[in-house]
Amino acid sequence: MNQEKLNCIIGKNIKKYRKLYNNNGHKMTQEKLAELINVSVSHISSLESNKTRKGISISNLYKISIVLNIPITKLLEDNYEN
């Protein structure tokens, strides 16, 4: 698997689990996720829309998994059609 495909998978999974996250009836916004892991909102947006060439650091991937309360492996699962 190439880096571009991996970035796409991770971005789609971040978006999926961010939208599924529910804290007392409130969904996680890009803004809140960015704040909690200390990155810009534009970085989260770029990841989710697969518009980044850099991808995501392991550290930030881990932070996202903690914030969303999911195993990090869920962010790497390829459950999408091309």
Q: 8-26: per-residue pLDDT in tens?
A: 999 999 999 999 988 777 8
Whole-prediction pTM? 0.90
What tokens appear for 11 in the block?
Answer: 């971005």
- The answer to whether the CB of 29 falls within 8 A of the CB of 59 is no
In whole angstroms, how large is the CA radius of gyration of the chain?
12
* Cβ 71 vs Cβ 65: under 8 Å: yes
User: Taking 70 as the threshold, does the pLDDT of residue 58 lie above it?
Assistant: yes
- Give the span between the Cα atoms of 53 and 72, in whole angstroms: 21
Domain spanning 3-71: CATH 1.10.260.40: yes
62-76 pLDDT tens trace: 999 999 999 999 999
